[in-house]
Amino acid sequence: MRDETIRLALPAAGEATERPISIAIVAMGGQGGGVLTDWIVQLAENHGWVAQSTSVPGVAQRTGATIYYIEAMPPLDGRKPILSLMPTPGDVDVVMAAEFMEAGRSILRGLVTPDRTTLIASNHRSFAIGEKIAPGNGIADGGAVTGAIGVAAKTEIIFDLNALAIAHGSVISAAMFGALAAAGVLPFSRDSYLDVIRAVGKGAKASVETFEAAFDRVKTGAADVAAPPQPKQAGNPPSPATPDPDLAALVARLKQELPEPALTMARAGLKKVVDFQDVAYGTEYLDILKTLHMADRNAGGGARAYAFTEAAAKYLANAMTYDDVIRVADLKTRAGRRARIETELEMSGGQLLQTTEFMHPRMEEVMGVLPAGFGRWLGGKPRLLGWLDRRVNRGRRVRTYSLPWFLALYVVGGLRGLRRRSLRHAIETAHRDGWLKAATDAVGTNYQLGVEILQCRRLVKGYSDTHSRGLSKFDKTLAAIKLVERREDAADWARRLREAALKDSAGKELDGVIQTIKTFA
């Protein structure tokens, strides 16, 4: 630009700065963004304004992220304003996000700016496919969105509009309309909003209630509508008159043998282990935990808040409560389970519940329950095994609450007596011991590495193929850790390996890290 132009003192043209009110609705297909758009247009038109809305339907509306855009302005002595067909970054008055990550996306599109934009967003999450398919925890960090909103929005109205809408038997669009009214960006009265909803007729009552609830929520800043209460966990038996004395003894032992930082985890662990098998199994848990804690103390864990013991308390419990047919059958036949489902389905008196389980037992599962010796013998007879597998290995639809099937499950669930002599138990125990040894060996020389090795247990989960894939990842990881155990940064590499293993199911990421390690180890 030639610089004499800068010194020119020409004023900006008159009306130039006066622009229509612009509203962007960012949502996912099927969230009713279209309805909300129509309401806002109707609202503006009812006040004699010229309103224009645009959207880009088609494939985007099949659950993908999509955006609706509205501009509205009063006519000037009979002349219609010329309205734009898409939002301009830095020039949007209101952004309404029907989901929290979509609010984040709108910020990345530059639609939310501090000089202009009121952001109305629901902070509930609807997870994207990428977040759901990770074998580990792929859920995106909502904190980052909150942080960005802080710097981007002029005014922010953030709460769980979805929960509020559901609580009032309606959908999020009604709640957002209410929040918009309360935001007071549009110069229209509360009643004129309600008129628009009422004119629709169908489902108007619920919409109006939701609208009013959202409106008041914004005005008063009242607390969020609590999400539907978590139905109580399955398997909590009615408390008998006197608490189990043996168990009480274990709790006392736990308190005196373990350091404060590990207590919560150890208590949860003990509970899970005893619930899985019996009090004696709980004793075994505490015995092992005690020796691990000893190693922790000798390694100077005191300075590290006994992180090793705490990790041990957590992952030992998970290792000891492996998922075998006995556990599954037991969980499926508990009283609390049916209760939980009935609450989830919000069943009323007149209705009846029946459930069907989709089970596909293989000979492996059956062998797991057999006594170790017999199981191994059978393992050496491939032809017999094949013959048996053909009888067993089949998908079975189990009508849980029909007497015959329930009895079957009930019996299997009651096989705890056999469990500790079973082949599966032998295998699990051997695997467990190897893992704990590796951790204990490490913790003396490299404390953090010991902790990391314990945490690798997280890789072992799932059933059948998924389980064996998890196991092989676990073994790969521990083998790779062996390669670097002498290094200063062994713990970091262990962490990297574990995180990589949790990223994709095929284990490509993991193999990548292992390759890197092999280049220097």
Residues 6+ apart with CB under 8 A from 489: none
Give the shortest CB-371-to-other proteins separation in angstroms: 23
Single residue of 463, 492, 511, 517 touching other proteins by CB under 8 A:
463
| Region near other proteins per CB under 8 A, out of 125-133, 420-428, 439-447, 489-497 | 125-133
Strand partners, 407: none
The interface with other proteins within residues 197-256 (CB under 8 A) comprises 230, 233-240, 243-244, 246-248, 251
Single residue of 335, 418, 430, 479 touching other proteins by CB under 8 A:
335
DSSP-assigned letters across all residues of 222-270: PPPPPP-PPPPPTT-PPPPSS--HHHHHHHHHHHHHS-HHHHHHHHHHH
Q: What are phi and psi of 78, to 5 degrees?
A: 80, -5
State the number of CA atoms in the 13 A half-sphere of 148 facing the CB. 21
Single residue of 222, 268, 430, 479 touching other proteins by CB under 8 A:
268
| Region near other proteins per CB under 8 A, out of 169-177, 187-195, 396-404, 436-444 | 396-404
State the number of CA atoms in the 13 A half-sphere of 229 facing the CB. 6
Single residue of 23, 128, 262, 514 touching other proteins by CB under 8 A:
128
CB-nearer residue toward other proteins: 74 or 300:
74
Task: List the one residue out of 95, 113, 116, 72 whose CA is nearest residue 26.
Answer: 95
66, 116, 184, 106: CA torsion to nearest 10:
20
What number of other Cβ atoms are within 10 A of residue 263's Cβ? 15
Query: Helices 490-501 and 508-520, interaxial angle, to 10°?
Result: 160
Identify whether the C-beta of residue 55 lies closer than 8 Å to the C-beta of residue 37: yes
Is 155 near other proteins (CB under 8 A)? no
Single residue of 220, 303, 395, 519 touching other proteins by CB under 8 A:
395
CB-nearer residue toward other proteins: 59 or 430:
59
| Region near other proteins per CB under 8 A, out of 201-209, 290-298, 395-403, 476-484 | 395-403
Site of tokens 């199994």: 281
CB-nearer residue toward other proteins: 310 or 485:
310
Is 30 near other proteins (CB under 8 A)? yes
| Region near other proteins per CB under 8 A, out of 286-294, 356-364, 382-390, 475-483 | 356-364
Is 278 near other proteins (CB under 8 A)? yes
Site of tokens 């469990």: 419
| Region near other proteins per CB under 8 A, out of 12-20, 183-191, 290-298, 424-432 | 12-20
The interface with other proteins within residues 84-123 (CB under 8 A) comprises 84-86, 88-91, 101-102, 104-105, 107-108, 110-114, 116
Is 52 near other proteins (CB under 8 A)? yes
